[in-house]
Chain A
């Protein structure tokens, strides 16, 4: 079964610095999504990148996807204390009609220090 794995598990940076988180997965995908989860809260959808896309931007977020390496990265530029949260990548499955079923990694806990 496919599995998203984020790296690093935890990341601590200073406000204003950039944060890069990586995600690897095992099987072919249609899309890869990134979500943010603030402590004790629900998940917020950040960005979706399709398997035929290599890079996508949204505000201070930049996502890359390398399907040959089965990996993705999330870059947050000019980080703010409010970016402190856990970040998860989620992949769907190709084939079998079950692309609604997301597989999440364990997440990267990002701490942005003021």
Chain B
């Protein structure tokens, strides 16, 4: 079991470019959660997805950010027209249906986005 796989590990983008972050959940996990960690901060919830459904995107900035979890393939967090303030570590977590809250979540190693 490879765990939660995120790629790329590091991503450098110039201001105005698009960033695509990928997350493959653990085998058997159909729920995916994205968090953002700014320097010297704790993780902040962004979005919760199930296959083909966005369940809660209350932590997502209203503009430029979008997320999807298609029927086939990884979950994608997309940031359009990146700005320096988007520089952060983005973590993905997964869980089996309904169990994460009671047993904990499995996190990936994160993607560190640097906007130059």
Contacts and interface: CB of A to CB of B under 8 A. Distances in A.
Q: Do A and B come from one complex?
A: yes
Contact of A42 (B40, B101, B107): B107
Contact of A104 (B42, B103, B106): B42
A110 B17 CA distance: 37
Interface in A20-61: 30-31, 33, 35, 40-45, 48, 50
B105 to A, nearest CB: 6
Contacts of B35: 102, 104
Interface residues of A, number: 26
Could you say which interface size class chain B belongs to?
A: 20 to 34
Contacts of A103: 45
A105 B110 CA distance: 18
Contacts of B33: 100
Given A43-B91, A43-B93, 7 more contacts: A42-B109, A43-B43, A45-B107, A98-B56, A100-B33, A101-B56, A104-B42
Interface of B: 4, 6, 31, 33, 35, 40-45, 48, 56, 58-59, 91, 93, 95, 100-110, 112
Interface of A: 4, 30-31, 33, 35, 40-45, 48, 50, 88, 90, 92, 98-107
